[in-house]
Amino acid sequence: MTLAIENLRKTLNEKGYEFETMRREVAALDEELGQVSERISSFENAKLSLTTFKNTKENDELIVPVGEGVFIKTKLMKNDEVMIGVGSNVVLTKDIDSAIAYIDARIDEADNIIQTLNNNLAYFNQRLMQLENEIQQIMNVLKSEESKGQK
């Protein structure tokens, strides 16, 4: 086996490794994109609930979700404040408009994350296509070189 063929095989292995690494990265980015999209959906639902809640009167009966498909009936005691979890088991009391503004800010942050993820995905997908072409070219050269060596 010639040095040229050895070098081509080494390059092919390196490109193959990079290709697989990029594929795993794309899969991870896709998963993260799904999670952030779910978070935005959750924020949108919370915002809608707060808007509805704002128009509810004190002592009105409400059905409140407490988990997956589980609800309780309750009466509204106060409709001008809500509590928001801000992380690390910290809960703040806010008026509804401030709570909606807080949620809007979280939605904007999540939208920025989605934009960054989409940019990264575009880069990685472009690099994957480039690597695929490079791998194919190397394989063609290898096949040609190996067939010359057999003659």
Distance CA 14, CA 19 (A): 9
pLDDT tens for 81-120 read 899 988 899 999 999 999 999 999 999 999 999 999 999 9
Listed residue (148, 120, 135) closest to 32, CA to CA: 120
Pairing of β 90-95 and β 81-87: antiparallel
> What is the band of 151 on the pLDDT scale with cuts at 50, 70, 90?
low
Instruction: Say whether 86 sits in a helix, a strand or coil.
Output: strand
Domains of the chain from N-terminus onward: 3-145 (1.10.287.370)
Listed in order, strand segments (DSSP E) in the chain are: 61-67, 70-75, 81-87, 90-95
